[in-house]
Each structure stands twice: as structure tokens, then as C-alpha cells.
Amino acid sequence: MFEELLVQRRPKDVVHWKIKGKGRLEEQLRARLKALGAWRLLVKYKMTWEEAEEQTAKINPDGIPLFDGQSHWLRARKQAEQYLDNPYTFGLAG
């Protein structure tokens, strides 16, 4: 049912995914999902990068944060904003 909805609503001019850069498709998608997680914490929940880093380290069984350091958190937020501006490029076409 959900797949049918996606097929019906998908624009006809969408280009198929191109794998750019390093890593398999799964690794690249995981990186983009992590970026969306950073965006959610920083923008939606209005956390500072320090709070987000502490929170993600606290809930990870290994104690490793989602990102390490201010530059990585802010870069991830910026990347997620690009994905959200054009969600049809989320699949690595852009």
C-alpha cells in the first residue's frame, strides 16, 4: 500500500540514484540518516551541539555520540537541510 502511494506521487522527471563518493549505497544512506538525526536534535529540539553530543553518547550502548565535535554536528545539520529542501535527491542523486 505504501509502495503504491510512493509510485503514484513520485514525480515523473526524477532521475535514478547515482552513487557518488565513497561507500556502498547502504553506508551513504546511513550517513544521510545520521545527518537528519543531527538536524532533528539541533533544530527541532533546539539543543546545542554539546547537548546533542552528550545525549547521543548517553543513549548509545558503546557511549559513542552520533557526531564528534562542533564542526561535524554543524556540517551534518547543513547537509540535512539540503536533503530536506529537495527530498527527492535524498537517494544520492545530488
- Residuewise pLDDT in 10s, the chain (94 residues): 788 877 788 787 877 666 666 667 788 888 899 999 999 999 999 999 999 999 999 999 999 999 999 999 999 999 999 989 887 766 554 4
Tell me the DSSP string of 69-84. Answer: SHHHHHHHHHHHHHHH
- Record the pTM: 0.70
Q: Which three cell numbers stand for residue 89?
A: 535527491
Domain ranges within the chain, ordered by starting residue? 26-94
Helix residue spans in the chain (DSSP H): 2-9, 25-39, 49-59, 70-85
